[in-house]
Amino acid sequence: MTEEHVGHPVSIEDAARLLRDGIVQSLSDLNKIEGYIVLLVRKIVSGTQHTGGSAAGEMVNVVHHVVTGAIGAGEQTGTGLTMSIKSAAKGIVMGVHDVGDDVVVASAEILRSVVKLAGSVGADIRAMAKRAVEGVVEATAEIRGGVIKVGKRAIEGAIDEAGKISKMTVATVTEVFNRVAGSVRQIRQTAARLPVKPVAAATHRAHNAR
């Protein structure tokens, strides 16, 4: 094949640079999408709950519907299911925090819903649960909450719901969270070095002022 057929030759250095730039751009776009989902979910959750402590049943209902929406969106587009569930979990925790509700309780309900719905649609429960916990823990770190306590309750919620499916599901979920434990510690250490974000505090005060 002549050079005219293949176009201008590209050096390995140029090819590597193009690959790097393409990956950087893709990751940048991915981060923007994740950030958008977090903000959207946070707004929906804080806007649909009563300020100053909603009833437990109301919180469960909100969490379940948000998780259902996130999984449904992933199924409809055919991509990004684990990405959307992590961002949704993160947004739920932040939205619950904004209205002064219990993020510990919310974390358990998030994982219950994720395991239940992932099982019902045949999704990878292992991957979905792992990403959801990561979202819960990241959000808790950002709002300066008790990362270990929230992460523990989230894991307990997932294992409890897994028990309603099968012993194999319990074993799978438990195995995942044994591996996640190291990530939780790392996120907690990173959070301790982060500056306090005034936005969340301001939003919380605005809600409580209503």
The residue with tokens 């012993």 is 167
Tokens of 6: 């293949």
Can you read off the two tokens belonging to residue 10?
A: 């590209």
**Per-residue tokens: 159:** 């294992």
Q: Please list the pLDDT of the chain residue by residue as tens digits (210 residues).
A: 444 444 566 688 887 788 888 877 776 777 788 888 899 999 999 888 765 445 667 888 889 999 998 888 877 765 667 778 999 999 999 999 998 889 999 999 999 999 999 888 888 888 888 889 989 999 999 998 888 888 888 888 888 888 888 888 888 788 777 766 655 555 455 445 445 444 444 344 434 444
Full-model pTM: 0.74
Which pair of structure tokens corresponds to residue 36?
């958008």
| Rounded (10°) angle between helices 125-142 and 103-121 | 160
What pLDDT score does 190 carry?
46
pLDDT of residue 97: 92
Please report the pLDDT score of residue 32 as a whole number. Answer: 84
Q: How far apart are CA 47 and CA 5, in angstroms?
A: 59
For residues 70 and 76, the answer to whether their CB atoms sit within 8 Å is: no
pLDDT of residue 51: 53
Burial of 138 (0-12, 13-18, 19+ CB in 10 A): buried
Extended beta strands in 37-189, E state: none
Give pLDDT, residue 181. 60
> How far apart (Å, rounded) are the C-alpha atoms in residues 80 and 70?
10
Q: Is residue 98 within 8 Å of residue 203, measured between CB atoms?
A: yes
What pLDDT is stored for residue 202 in this prediction?
A: 38
The whole-number pLDDT of residue 199 equals 41
**What's residue 205's pLDDT?**
40
User: Sign of torsion, CA 51 52 55 60?
Assistant: positive
